[in-house]
Copies of this chain bind each other. A is one copy, B any other.
Amino acid sequence: MNQSERLSFHADCPSRLLLDEVADKWSILVLAALQHGPMRFNQLLHAIDGISKKSLSVVLRRLERNGIVSRDVLKLRPIAVAYCITPLGWTLVEPFAALYDWTQRHLDEVDRARQQFDQQGGHSLSPNANL
């Protein structure tokens, strides 16, 4: 049994499929926003700069289906809906936060790496260097 066999990640592995659903930018940002308390749809829409109604809708439903967030309809007029993190969702907050923290803590180091790569003619791809 060689290394590449040991390490083979099969495409239909259930946890890989879940990883696919869960490891995306919008999910991380939605969870980050909901950490501080329940939020309404339009609140999220404005808090997460750059997301569209449609994308937010899709992400929220995926998170809801996977049991990460709950959707609570408040019986008001006009209708109001509050999204909040479920107990299962809270177990995901920490890994997500760790990832988000990483981007903030290592931004400088990554920037230096990029400059170095771009100067030393990083092969050919993406001629316009900086992010």
Residues of A within 8 A of B (CB): 3-4, 6-11, 14-25, 28-29, 32-33, 36-37, 39, 43, 46-50, 58, 61, 64-67, 88, 91-92, 94-96, 98-104, 106-107, 109-110, 112-114, 116-118, 122-123, 125, 131
Contact = CB atoms under 8 A, between A and B. Distances in A.
A43 B131 contact: no
Contact of A9 (B29, B66, B131): B29
Given A19-B100, A61-B122, A95-B101, 6 more contacts: A4-B47, A11-B50, A16-B25, A19-B28, A19-B103, A94-B98
25 contacts: A3-B47, A7-B32, A7-B33, A7-B36, A8-B46, A8-B47, A8-B49, A9-B32, A9-B48, A10-B49, A11-B49, A14-B107, A15-B100, A15-B104, A16-B25, A18-B131, A20-B25, A22-B102, A22-B103, A65-B114, A65-B118, A67-B116, A92-B102, A96-B99, A98-B98
Copy number in the complex reads: 2
A95 B88 contact: no
